[in-house]
Every structure is written in structure tokens, then in C-alpha cells.
Structure 1
Amino acid sequence: MDATSLPGHYGTARASFGAKDFGWRDQAHGLVADLFERSPAIYWTDFLLSSLTGWALTAVYFRAQPFSALQVAAFLLASLLFFRAGTFIHEIVHMPRDQMVGFKRAWNLLLGIPFLMPWVMYSNHVEHHNHRRFGTPGDGEYLPLGASPTTEIFKYLAQAPLLPLFMLLRFGVLGPLSWFHAKLRHWVLTRASAAVSNPYYSEPFPKRLAGHLQLMEVLCLLYLLTLGLLVWRDVITLSQVGMGYLLLAFTLGLNWVRNLAAHRYVNDGTQMDHASQVAESINITGQTWLTVALFPVGLRYHALHHLFPALPYHNLDEAHRRLMQHLPADGSYRATNRDSFFAAVGELWRSARATAPEASAMRAWLPRSGRS
């Protein structure tokens, strides 16, 4: 399937990406060239305050009167802070391997292992910035939701409450069993070892990180066995297990929902150059409470991030300000801006509603046996 086979708004939108002038990129780089250095102090302060306060509020959530205002408030605030702290996984995978090693270990200790999401599981994210992968079925973070019927959006959202269950099965059952079965290990490493939103993603796990992954599997299994022992000894009740599941599902669900406003999601699966990749991405520029809550650690500037992936999160606001002030008024960078989360999702919904089932780009993502 190619863009010319898709009628109406979809083919036009896809074709227009490559036509956008990208000559301003060099000028943009010059404007932000002094902003690429990370500040370890900012990273450590932000992460530790967010994660430790999140754990303190989790204790309040578990000890408060059931369904009281205090419990609800603690639940919501803990989720938002865990979401913020968890988002540093995105910063970690963009760091050089030998940079801020202690920070990466601390992230795994405070969040990665307790949430069954060690940062090595997100190492596939670098493929999302590869022009040969971005927007294709080989991109684990892309689904053509804007170029498929609205049922695909509902199918996507329906996965969110099940994410903790998937992770429990991955680290508590499949991972350990795969240590003793070569074929199962191959399946686990290709189908269940990447943090993705594309359920059809199937790529080998990087061999250079295989040892790190297995260490994380061991630590996550020990964590789960400890929890199981505490439940068996009645130190932790089943109702508390349910409360923990709900907190984790809600926290992960925040990112699942936020992801709807990261891109336009209208590509048909063909390769896209860097200019098209930026044009397909979205900046949320509105200063609202929802923007602050749903787009922590620089996530609101997703188009800017795809323009310059190495920019640290704490400099994105200044970088965006400079680009908006100095780039040409008709520059395509400005077209990536949306006033709010609702504006971006509304655009996605309208695009999906205008897509007939027979023109669905999702067919390119399905396994060969499932394509029509």
C-alpha cells in the first residue's frame, strides 16, 4: 500500500510532508547550539523529589481511610509524580552509555524494578528516531491511528488497564521460563522485551544489552517473589495488591493517553525523512494544568525533540522560545504547534473518522496472515 492508493485527506496529508521546506534546520541548530549540555544537578533533584514524594504519597494512599478525600488525593498525586519520575526513562535512553551511570541505576532501583519496567526495556526507543523506522511497522512507538477507523483508537486505549498484567507475566512467568527454553527465549526477546505501543512490533533485542536485560529479569523476579512471600505471610493483603495494581495501571495509563498527542499518526507505513518526521510530530504549547500534568519532563515539545533528540529536557522550553522568536514566520516548525492536548486529540479523532475501513493504513501493520 502506498499514499497514492489512499483517497482524500490521508493521501494529501502524507504527500505534503516531503514538500515542506526544511532549510531552516541549520538555522535552528545554530539558535540552540549552546543548549545541548545536560545538568546532572537538575536531573537528580527533579527525579529524587518526584519519586520519593511519590512513594511517600503511596504510603498515605495505602493507610488512608478507603475512598476518603485523602486517599483519592494521595492516589492522584502519587500517580502524577510517578509519571513524572518515570518519564526520565526517555531521557536515559538518549544519554551516552557511560553518562550518568549512577542516575540510571537509581532510576531502576526507585522505579524500574518496582514498576517492572527497567530502562533497558526502552532501548528500542532509538529506532523511533531512525528515518528508516519512524512511522513504519518496524517502529514500536507508532500506530497509524489517524489514518485508520476510530475503532483502532478504542483498541489502543483498551490495552492501558492491562499493562501491569502484561509486565507481571513478562517478568514473573515468561522471562524466567525462557532461561531454560531456547525457542521461548527467542520469542521473549523479539516479542516481549521492548516498551512499545505497537502490538505488532517484532524485532530482536540488541545483543549488546542482553546481559543487562537478564540481570534486570533476575532482580524483577526477586522483587516479585518477595511480594509473593509477603502476601503468603499476610503482611500484604490481596486488597492492597489490588490497590497497587490500580495505582500502577493509572500511572502507566497517563502516558498511554498522553501518547495520543505525540504525533499526527497519519503515515501509511512508508519511510519518512527527517523533515517529515518532525512535521508528523506535535508540540503542545498551551500553559494549562493539563499540559503540566500530562506532559512532564519536556514531553510537550515532541516535535522539537524529534528535530534535536539530544536536547536535554530542561532546555527545551528555552529552545522552543528561541525558535519561535527567530525562525521565519512561514517556517514549517510553527505548524507542529497545537494549543492543547484536546486540540491534538480532536484532530486525530477527526482524521480517524474520515478514514473508511477499506482505506485503513493499519493493514500495513498487521501480520501477513491478517492482511486483507
Structure 2
Amino acid sequence: MTAPNVIDQPRPSPQQEPAARTASTWHSQIPDDKAMLRAAAELTRDIATARAAIYWPDMLGSAALGYAALAGAILLDSPLAALACGLLASLALYRALLFIHELTHIHKDALPGFRFVWNLLVGIPLLIPSFMYEGVHTQHHARTRYGTIEDPEYMPLALMKPWSLPVFALTAILLPPALLVRSALLVPLGVIIPPVRKLVWERASSLSINPQYRRRKPEGAFARMVFWQELGASIWAIALVAASIAYGWRPLIIALCVVSLTAFLNQVRTLVAHLWENDGEAMTVTAQYLDSVNVPPPALLSPLWAPVGLRFHALHHLLPSMPYHSLGECHRRISAHLGAGSTYEQASYKGLMPLLTRLARSTMRAG
């Protein structure tokens, strides 16, 4: 899907009117800002190590709070108290789940045991083992794939019809029951029916949004990891269904509703992670950066809807391996070094609602 009358316009400068900045985009081959790329690399080398003292308490605390609140949502008699617990559970589990993003980028030896424990406590219980993101998300960062048909995490949403945005967001609500069916039924069925196994792997084994993406068969050590994670998720899913048949469906339905809200929050965050204005061409690193979004301080609510460093998503595309706890300091250093009016500053936005409004206006122009 293309929109030459929009895509071929140049990127507005910071001095132009805000309305003009909202109404236009830039060509995918905007030249790289080498000063920005150099500053990003040189100013942040000393804070590029993942710190176990931050990762472990954050992940474990988020998971513990999420499960405790989920128990309250299931067990409390007061509807208001149960609803409050459900909302808290959704936010806490959202943060715990998003450590899957860190797992795709940190070195395999950086945090011994972290991947295993995260899968045991978060990935498998919520039926989203880390293999569903590992080996997929890195393709989104590939220099020649970002924004193209080969990018599993890109759709030109800004160039699509206005109705595509609510559909995109609301379909996330169906993810938890779909994952339950996948692990409890389709994966075991695939053991005895190879075509089902092939279909499930290609089409339903990755956290991707590009409907044309097909996942390649796993190999080597990764295939062994997939086997054990799939086995754990299937055993857990079958146990959930069996327990619900034996003792009642209410706890499982409440849990699915809580995780559906988590999936919806993540889908809304995804809507504003990028500007989604590329129509399929390969992009320079700077163009990829400008098609991505930072929502830095003083935005107060961004840590809630974009936790674990994802409020610095554009910066993350400059420094993919930078641990989430260092991104705030990276942003401060680069901003101070490059100053106001720099290319770096152009990827910063004020908050969720201005970004959603910008995206909706883009779809209305495209439509």
C-alpha cells in the first residue's frame, strides 16, 4: 500500500508549524545523521551493561504483585475490590511480560538464569514463552528489513484506513484465549499431524503483526529450547482446562480477562511505538529512528503504558542492546550533547494521546 503524495514530502524542521509537522512525513531514504549516530554510541558505552541488581528485583517483584493481585481479583467477594485487583494485576503482569523484550537483546551470558526463571514464572504461565519473541524481534531491527514486507513487526498503519486502528487494538483482546487454544489443542495435535505443526509454527508462534510473515523452522540449540518451552506451555494449558472442567471456569475466565486487558494495553502501546509511515522501502538508520517514538520526561504516565524502557523506543532503535535501566541516562546525555533542534530531538513526543491523534489523522488523510 503506497501513498506517494504523503511519503515523498520532506521531514519538517522543528521550527515549522506544529500542524505542518503533524501533517507530513519524510522519504524513507533520508540521509543518516552521522553526528547523532556517533554521539549515541560514544556517550553511552560506560552504561551498556545489564545490571542483575535491577533486572531480578524488577521482574520478580512485578510478577509477584501481578499474581497476588490476580488472586485478589478471583477470590474477593466485593466487585469493586475485585475490579481494582484486576486492573493492578493487568498492569503488573504487563511489566513482567515486557521483560521478554529485554531477553531478545541482552547477551545470553549477561544474566545467568534470568531467561529460565522468566519463562518458568511469567512466559509459560501466561502462555507466551520467550521463543515467541526471540529470533523474531531481532528481524525488526535488521538494517535492511525494518519497515519492509520482511519485517514481522511492521505495518504501514498510518497509510491504512481509519477503521484499521480500532480493529488492530481490539483484536489483542482475543490473544489470551487464542494462546490457550494454541497450547492446549493445536500444539499437541501438531505432534501427530505434521501439516498442523507446520502451520502453527509458521503462523501462530511469533509475536508479530505483519500478516504476511511466515516463521522459519527452528534449528540447533534454539529448536531444543523451543521444544522444552512448548512442552511446558502445553502441559500448563491442558492443566488449566482440566482444572476448569473439574472445579469451574470462573478463575480461568477472570484470568483471561486480566491478561486480555494486558494484551490490549500492549497493542495500544504498539500503535504509538512508531509513526508507521513507511510504505515498504528499506530505510536508513536515521529514517528508522525518526519513524520511531520517544516519550521522555516530563510525560508522567509513560512508564505505565510503556514500561521497561519502551517509552524510549526510538532511542532503543539507535542502541538496541542498551539495557532498559540505562535508557533514561542515555537520553539525557545525548540530548544535552546535541542540543535543541537536533535530529535526535525530533523523535520525542509529549504523550500517548497526541500520538494516537497524529496516527488517526494520518489514516484519515490516507483513507
Distance verdict in 2 for CA 1:289–1:296, change over 3 Å? same
The residue that corresponds to 2:230 in the other structure is: 217
Distance verdict in 2 for CA 1:205–1:305, change over 3 Å? farther
CA contact 1:324–1:334 (8 Å) conserved in 2: yes
The residue that corresponds to 1:46 in the other structure is: 58
Shift of 1:242: 1.4
The residue that corresponds to 2:160 in the other structure is: 148
1:146 maps to a residue whose letter is: A
Query: Following the alignment from structure 2 to structure 1, what is the Cα–Cα distance between the partners of residues 335 and 157?
Result: 29
Shift of 1:20: 5.6
2:280 maps to a residue whose letter is: G
The residue that corresponds to 2:91 in the other structure is: 80
Query: Following the alignment from structure 2 to structure 1, what is the Cα–Cα distance between the partners of residues 139 and 112?
Result: 22
Distance verdict in 2 for CA 1:222–1:215, change over 3 Å? same
Query: Following the alignment from structure 1 to structure 2, what is the Cα–Cα distance between the partners of residues 163 and 51?
Result: 20
The residue that corresponds to 2:359 in the other structure is: 348
The residue that corresponds to 2:307 in the other structure is: 296
2:223 maps to a residue whose letter is: A
Q: How many residues align?
A: 350
List per-residue Cα deviations over 1:91-117 (Å, max 9, x = no partner): 011122333241111111111011100
List per-residue Cα deviations over 1:77-100 (Å, max 9, x = no partner): 111111111111100111223332
CA contact 1:149–1:353 (8 Å) conserved in 2: yes
- Secondary structure, counterpart of 1:179 in structure 2: helix
Query: Following the alignment from structure 1 to structure 2, what is the Cα–Cα distance between the partners of residues 43 and 92?
Result: 11
Q: Structure 1 stretch 16-25 or stretch 139-148: which is displaced more?
A: 16-25
Query: Following the alignment from structure 1 to structure 2, what is the Cα–Cα distance between the partners of residues 248 and 27?
Result: 40
- Secondary structure, counterpart of 1:213 in structure 2: helix
- Which one of the candidate residues 68, 75, 89 is aligned to 1:63? 75
Distance verdict in 2 for CA 1:200–1:349, change over 3 Å? same
Shift of 1:165: 2.0
CA contact 1:143–1:198 (8 Å) conserved in 2: yes
Q: Structure 1 stretch 245-254 or stretch 219-228: which is displaced more?
A: 219-228
- Secondary structure, counterpart of 1:94 in structure 2: coil
- Which one of the candidate residues 3, 8, 11 is aligned to 2:5? 8
Instruction: Provide the alpha-carbon RMSD of the alignment.
Output: 1.7
Identity %: 34
Shift of 1:193: 1.3
Structure 2 residue ranges without an equivalent (≥5): 10-24
CA contact 2:50–2:106 (8 Å) conserved in 1: no
Q: TM-score, normalised by structure 1?
A: 0.89
Structure 1 residue ranges without an equivalent (≥5): 357-372
Query: Following the alignment from structure 2 to structure 1, what is the Cα–Cα distance between the partners of residues 338 and 323?
Result: 21
1:9 maps to a residue whose letter is: V
List, as ranges, runs of 4+ consecutive aligned residues in structure 1 with deviation greater than 6 Å.
none
1:262 maps to a residue whose letter is: A
- Which one of the candidate residues 277, 285, 306 is aligned to 2:288? 277
- Secondary structure, counterpart of 2:128 in structure 1: coil
Query: Following the alignment from structure 1 to structure 2, what is the Cα–Cα distance between the partners of residues 227 and 24?
Result: 50
